[in-house]
Structures are given as C-alpha cells and as structure tokens.
Amino acid sequence: MRSDRAKKGIERAPHRSLFHAMGYTDEEIARPIIGVVNSKNEIIPGHIHLDAIVNAVKAGIRMAGGTPMEFPAIGVCDGIAMGHEGMKYSLVTRELIADSIECVATAHAFDALVMIPNCDKIVPGMLMAAGRLDLPTIFVSGGPMLAGKYAGKRISLTDMFEAVGAVGAGTMTKKELEEMEVCACPTCGSCSGMFTANSMNCVTEVLGMALPGNSTIPAVYAARIALAKKAGMAIMHLFEKGITARKIMTEEAFHNALAADMALGCSTNTILHLPAIAHETGIPFDLRTINEISERTPNLCRLAPAGNHFVEDLDAAGGISAVLAELAKNKIINTKLLTVTGKKIADNIKGAVNRDPEVLRPIDTPYSKNGGIAVLYGNLAPNGCVVKRSAVAPEMMKHSGPVRVFDCEEDTFAAIQKGGIKAGDVVVIRYEGPRGGPGMREMLSVTAALAGRGLDKQVALLTDGRFSGATRGASIGHCSPEAAMGGPIALVQDGDRVTIDINAYSITLDVTEAELKKRKAAWQAPAAKITKGYLARYAKMVSSADKGAILT
C-alpha cells in the first residue's frame, strides 16, 4: 500500500503515534487510507449540505474495509461572486484546489481518493488533481437543486438575473423581484439548469469518474445519500484492482465527454476546463476536435437556460445513462471504455431507457443535427472563441452589426441599464481574459441584463472573458488571443462591423489587414490592473483561454 510509506515499520513509530493522537486504532491504521476531499462550506448552496454526503461516503469506505480521512477544499460561489470584483477570484481557485489536493494527498501518502465537489471550479479543479496524481479516484457530487416556482412558472437563477434587467426596463416591479428572489433557489444543490456546475458533473460521469446517476440525482433525494455510500464502497474496489484515474480518463474518454457535452448543450466553461484536465492527464487537446465532434453529434437536450426543462427532469428521463444509450445507437460514443464501476460503459448503460422524449430527444429526432457548442475562428479570434449554440435564437445564428466596445464588464452593464445598447449591435467586452482581467470573469449580469430587456435575440456579445452556463443568446466568449496579449480583439474600434456565422464556425472583423496592422503598431499593452497578491502572480503565469487558462 502507498500509505505504508507513512505507517509501516519501526522507523514509522513516530508517524503512528500521530495517528493514535487522533484516536485511530491499530486496525484502522493497518487498512488502506482513503483521502476524502470535502469541499463543504457555508457560502455555496451546492456545498452547504456536503457533510451529509461525506458521512455517507465514509460509511461506504468503512463497510468495504478502508479507513477514510477527510480534508477540505475551498470553493467560490459564482452566483454570489458575479458582477463585482469577487468574480476575478472564481476561475483562479481551480488551480488552488488542484494544487492543495496534490499537496495533502502526496504528503500523507493516501492510497486512494474520493472527491466530493459540486459547483463551478471545484469539479474541474478536483479532476485536474485526479489526473495529476493518478491514484484510484472516484467522484460523488452534492447533486442539483430543484427548480423554483414563481407565478405558475418553474424558474432558476437565470430568471433572477434576467429579472434585474426587466426591472431596469420597467417591465417588472421591485416588489415582484423581491417575491421572486425567495422562490428561485428552493433547495440546496448546484443551480437547477444546465449551467457550469451541472455541466461539469455530467462531464465527470461521462468521463467514467463517477457512478451512474451522479450528475442528475437531486441533492435533496435519499438516492443521493445511497449513491454516496456506494461510491465509498466502489473506491475500495478500484484500490484493490489498481484502477487509477488515468486508466479511466483516456483520450477516447475525453472524446466521449465532448460528444455528451454537445448532446446536452452544456456550458461553454466545459471548453475551458476539459483542455486543462486533459493537460494534467497528459492527453493532447485540440479545440478543432470540438467542431469535428459537434458536426456528428446531435443536440438532444435543451435544459435551462436553453429551454424550459431542468436537471431534475433529465434525471427522471433516465439521466446520463439514457443520454449515452441514445448516442450509442449511432455509435457516437465508445462504449468499451472503463469506468469507476470497474465495468465498461456498455455494461453501465445496459437497460437504460429514455423515459421522457420531450426532455431527452431520441437520436433520430434531435433538436438539431449538430452539437450544442461551437468554436468560431476568424481574423478576430485566430485561436478560437466559444459559443453555446443551443442557447442562441435561430435569427442570431448569422449576424452582422456595428461594434460597441467596452474595456470592462462594469461599463458594459451600465450602458445596458441606461438603454445605450441597441438592436443589431455587437457588444465587445475586452481586457477581461485570464491575464487581462485578471481571472477571466463570467459576465452573467451583462447577458441577463440584455435578456431582461428582450435584446438577447437582437444583440451579439463577444469577449475575451467568459459567460456563465446560465447565459442564453449569442454570447461568444474565450476570444483568443486575449486583448491583454495584443490579440485582434484589442484592435476593435467603435463603428467597426463584425460578421458572425455560427454554423459556419466563423467570426470576422470587417476591417482590412492593412488597417489592422496599423492599429497593432499603435497599440500599447495596458498597465496591470492588480499588482499584488495571488491574482498578480496568476496573471504572470496563466496561459490563454484556448489552452484552458492553465498555469505555465
């Protein structure tokens, strides 16, 4: 056992004395030691209840003959951090989470790990750690929130952000907003639509790193506790069989994850996190692969914000197993790959049934023949930019319009609230990338303000920052190279025209090459916005978005 490094032999008597200081018995010390990474805190709705999940995991580990030892991981709630300086500190926690897990797991020679995340950057940070450490590892998340209800309609966090725009436009009263805010998020759990948290939990299950049902069983269901116990038992099986993370997270597994991503219409943040996870796992990742997979993968689900269904509905329809079963009918996924069940995908989805073809479209009657995400290229984004195609209105799939340029999120939001953005505009928000932000903020407040004013079907957005999974509309993020690195987005001027053709994977700044060269010669890099602390260090080390915003 790996843990013998810290507990076996005469020379480890001092080490064992420290275990005894915590009340561990000789029997517990002799067993495999399983690190249980608990990201529970009292600031994230998806994490407030994770102690219950942790206790169930520990029970499963003990039932199967292991000794669980819990340690923490940090987390940021993207919704609470949204729209102010706090959002600069969201993406950057991904690396802190991966690094801290590496430190604790290696320092204490754990034999295996159970990762217990739920939201936003915590899931990919833990997946990065799993790929880096290559230990037997299993994930069990806290599960999704149930949808809220207001005025006879099911709602989610997206509706709250859009309601702010509606109040600004005069189509909703402040009293109605106050009534709505106590209804939108009725339970603990990751926000109820196919936003980043649930997208990444779905990706984790498809990668093979979580048990069937992990992505969709609601947080408040008893089945979530039972699943956690099974995960605790399953980690002991993985340990005994020597099945480590890299034996599961193979290149083909990433292709499966991308195919499911396209079928589900996941958050564009998956296209930021999957390259980073692949990097830690030693697997090459080319953004152009995304469009290739998207071209052959139909979009089967349109959960909020793209539609009126929620993750709880996908669970009732059969969950990710039913999604994979639909994709397997056309051989879009490889079902021969190993998972944390110790079995192959084909075994896991045997008997899976699509119980609601309204929520999960059958493979022969999809919402669209191509996938939910597209990577656009052109002279404005030579290294690519990303859009959630399934959440774009048909009339915005092709668009050409005059540019309104803003150098930060706050100025953009203020202009929208004052009615300064008009139908047909292309809004460019720059210097919000990984380095320029720093931290590559999500800008749900901006997109929701537009939607609240009814402009989501008339205005396109482009940024070197990123958009929340709760975003709908022609919101195009991750523009690479970013403005702070002198990318073409830094050269755009008010009044220029941008032409977008999403299904042709194209985005073009309608300015001559000669004019762009002239502007580039005159461009000067802006001064760093933050000069001390973690963000300053992050800005110096972070790569571009097309590389996953990894630290180099």
pLDDT per residue as tens digits for the range 494-530? 999 999 999 999 999 999 999 999 999 999 999 999 9
Within 3-121, residue ranges assigned H as helices are: 13-21, 26-30, 50-63, 78-81, 93-107
Residue 271 neighbours by CB distance under 10 Å: 28
Question: Are the C-beta atoms of residues 265 and 303 closer than 8 Å to each other?
Answer: yes
For residue 411, the model assigns a pLDDT of 95
Helix, strand, or coil here: 361?
coil
When pLDDT is cut at 50, 70 and 90, the band that residue 19 belongs to is very high
Q: Is the pLDDT of residue 445 over 90?
A: no
State yes or no: is 400 an active-site residue: no
477 with 385: CB under 8 angstroms?
yes
Q: What's the rounded Cα separation, in Å, for the pair 461 and 404? A: 10
Q: Residue 510, Cβ neighbours under 10 Å: how many?
A: 12
- Write the single-letter amino acid at 226: A
Token readout for 503 is 């299904």
Contact between 362 and 354 under an 8 Å Cβ cutoff? The reply is: yes
Compute how many other C-beta atoms are within 10 angstroms of the C-beta atom of residue 527: 6
Tell me the helix, strand and coil percentages in the chain, rounded to 5.
Answer: 45, 15, 40
How much is the pLDDT for 444?
83
Task: Give the number of other CB atoms < 10 A from CB of residue 22.
Answer: 8
Q: Are 325 and 359 in contact (CB under 8 A)?
A: no
The pLDDT value recorded for residue 380 is 97
| 424 in Cβ contact with 488 (< 8 Å) | no
Give tens-digit pLDDT for 374-426: 999 999 999 999 999 999 999 999 999 999 999 999 999 999 989 999 999 99
Instruction: Name the pTM for this structure.
Output: 0.96
Q: What's the token pair of residue 387?
A: 């859009």
What are the tokens at 524? 């000067």
DSSP designation for 335: T
HEC readout, 64-84? CCCEEEEEECCCCCHHHHCCC
Instruction: Please tell me which residue in 156, 192, 321, 468 is annotated as part of the active site.
Output: 468
Closest CA to 163 of 150, 145, 144: 150
Nearest to 197 by CA among 277, 257, 143: 143
* pLDDT for the residue 369: 95
Mean pLDDT, range 32-48, rounded to an integer: 98
Residue 470, pLDDT > 80, answer no
Q: In what order do the strands lie in the sheet with 33-38?
A: 67-72, 33-38, 112-116, 137-139
State how far the Cα of 413 lies from the Cα of 419, in Å rounded to an integer: 10
Distance CA 286, CA 290 (A): 8
| 253-292 residue pLDDT tens | 999 999 999 999 999 999 999 999 999 999 999 999 999 9
Instruction: To the nearest 10°, report the CA torsion of 392, 397, 403, 406.
Output: 30
Phi and psi at 404, nearest 5°, equal -115, 120
Whether 98 and 132 have beta carbons less than 8 Å apart is answered as: yes
Q: Using the structure block, give the residue that is written with the tokens 């939607």.
A: 451
* Residue 77 banded pLDDT, cuts 50, 70, 90: very high
pLDDT band at 471 (very low <50, low <70, confident <90, very high): confident
Q: Which two tokens stand for residue 6?
A: 């810290």
